[in-house]
């Protein structure tokens, strides 16, 4: 009974309190800026806006392009760096040369020019070429006379001409012709009776005896190998054939090759045979 009275008294006291209270002395809401500060801030914003650069003037090129005639394809070379188009006649000549090169290409290589011969039988059983080609030029260097061989040998000859022969004679050349001493021939090695079939009889070999420069100079293996001015490029060209060809024979290897280079694409288990 006593507890109930105390609760009632407390409730009446709470209801008797005022519903509103005085505002705090300080409020968390910030005070509004003075008018002078707002004016200064606006002035600062306007000053920054005035710092924006002016638009660039229209360029002279744009004005010139807009003023040129509509039917003019492009500006003249004095004003424009764009070259004039090639006349149709020159384009036809260039395309004709490319067609002729493609027509004369053999072994699927534009740098090997000649004609496809096909199967070449041999009078001896082990001789012959399955897919023979007669090569006229390799990497722009003529073969005199054109040589009969297979594509493996033609490709090796082209690679050696580009990476071995031409660099070796760069100061004296360029080389425009190679004199062919021997190519395909159904015979034994060194024409010895009863000997093994030569790589020449399989279309794997070519012999070169001289090289002609653009100025008409002819450097022969026989004479050039013993002369100081021609010995170095000849030796350099000869040494770079090792590896590109399976066999390289020249002056000093034996008496049969003192006047020419013999290159063939025979394969050996021990690697290239170079002497």
1 vs 190, higher pLDDT: 190
Phi-psi region of 255 (alpha: psi -120 to 50; beta: other; left: phi over 0): alpha
Given a contact cutoff of 8 angstroms between Cβ atoms, the answer to whether 110 and 101 are in contact is yes
Q: Sign of the C-alpha dihedral, residues 194, 197, 200, 202?
A: positive
Over the stretch 218-271, which tens digit does the pLDDT of each residue have? Answer: 999 999 997 777 789 999 999 999 999 999 999 988 888 999 999 999 998 888
Q: Is the pLDDT of residue 84 over 90?
A: no
Residue-wise pLDDT for 127-175, tens only, equals 999 999 999 999 999 999 999 999 999 999 999 999 999 999 998 879 9
Answer whether 121's CB lies under 8 Å from 113's CB: no
Average pLDDT over residues 204-218: 96
- Of 3-17, 76-90, 100-114, 117-131, give the range with the top mean pLDDT: 117-131
For range 209-220, the mean pLDDT: 95
Closest by CA to 233, choosing from 172, 168, 170, is 168
Coil, helix or strand for 249?
Answer: strand
Residue 102 confidence class, pLDDT cut points 50, 70, 90: confident
**DSSP string across 62-91:** HHHHHHS-TT--S--TTT--PPPPPPHHHH
For residue 14, what pLDDT is reported?
A: 55
């Amino acid at each position: 009974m006593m507890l109930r009275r105390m609760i009632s008294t407390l409730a009446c006291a709470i209801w008797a309190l005022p519903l509103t209270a005085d505002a705090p002395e300080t409020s968390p809401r910030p005070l509004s800026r003075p008018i002078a500060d707002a004016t200064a801030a606006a002035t600062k914003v306007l000053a920054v806006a005035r710092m924006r650069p002016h638009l660039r003037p229209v360029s002279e090129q744009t004005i010139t392009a807009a003023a040129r005639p509509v039917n003019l394809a492009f500006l003249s070379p004095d004003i424009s760096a764009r070259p004039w188009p090639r006349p149709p006649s020159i384009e036809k000549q260039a395309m004709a040369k490319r067609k002729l090169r493609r027509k004369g290409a053999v072994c699927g290589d534009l740098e090997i020019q000649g004609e496809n011969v096909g199967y070449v039988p041999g009078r001896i059983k082990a001789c012959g070429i399955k897919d023979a080609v007669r090569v006229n030029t390799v990497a722009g260097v003529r073969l005199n006379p054109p040589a009969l061989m297979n594509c493996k040998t033609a490709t090796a000859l082209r690679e050696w001409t580009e990476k071995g022969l031409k660099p070796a004679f760069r100061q004296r050349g360029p080389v425009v012709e190679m004199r062919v001493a021997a190519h395909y021939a159904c015979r034994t090695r060194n024409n010895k009776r009863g000997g093994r079939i030569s790589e020449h009889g399989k279309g794997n070999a070519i012999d070169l005896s001289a090289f002609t420069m653009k100025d008409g100079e002819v450097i022969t293996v026989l004479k050039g190998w013993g002369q100081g001015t021609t010995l170095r490029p000849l030796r350099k060209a000869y040494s770079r054939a090792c590896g590109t060809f399976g066999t390289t024979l020249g002056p000093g290897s034996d008496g049969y090759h003192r006047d020419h280079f013999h290159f063939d694409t025979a394969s050996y288990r021990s690697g290239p045979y170079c002497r």
